[in-house]
Amino acid sequence: MNVNIHPSWKTHLQEEFKKPYFKDLVNFVKQEYKQYQCFPPGKEIFAAFDHCTFDKLKVVIIGQDPYHGIGQANGLCFSVHDGISHPPSLINIFKEIETDLGVLYPKSGNLERWADQGVLLLNATLTVRAHEAGSHQNKGWEIFTDAVIQSISKNKKGIVFLLWGGFAKKKIKLIDTKNHQVLSSGHPSPLSANRGYWFGNKHFSKTNFLLEQAGQKSVDW
């Protein structure tokens, strides 16, 4: 099956595209986009992979579901299109960066600038029906994105995985922690952040320290 994803990923994911579950998933997604309003726009479903090629990948951030509001989702977890109001989790991410690194709070919530530097912003589910959170969960996306994480773990070395919240933390079982670095904390959502599980984790300075220790360029957050 020909999937419109960056060629650098095709080598590593080609076998997944041939599996029955993936064919069923593609049929499901096509039908949903035909019948309902869904996000992100079709051409941005694999945007995380297009902006962060396999070769330059150095950091992985795992989200759960795309934003389901009009014009928000752009194929990168926690990210929104330029000009869109920042959702609460993204606000808390930027606040932590501000405190951690002294970087001014940005106008744009579009995180393509991170992805272009080698940060894979991977949602476990890559599509959603408008205004229906979780509507495309358990249709096959999680099998695919778990395979992505396993492939990264197996074929790369020294990747920094950022696992925020209970859902993301479960993905540690897919990661070879001898070859990769894992930083975990609470989720940046207000519920978790306001209980003290997010602010002060310093994941952005810690990530840059780990990258520099490994002889890699730090991320301009």
Give me the catalytic one of 24, 50, 55, 65: 65
Cis peptide before 40, with omega less than 30 degrees from 0? Answer: yes
> Rounded to a whole number, what is the largest CA-CA distance in the chain?
50
Task: Tell me if residue 100 is catalytic.
Answer: no
Catalytic residues: 65
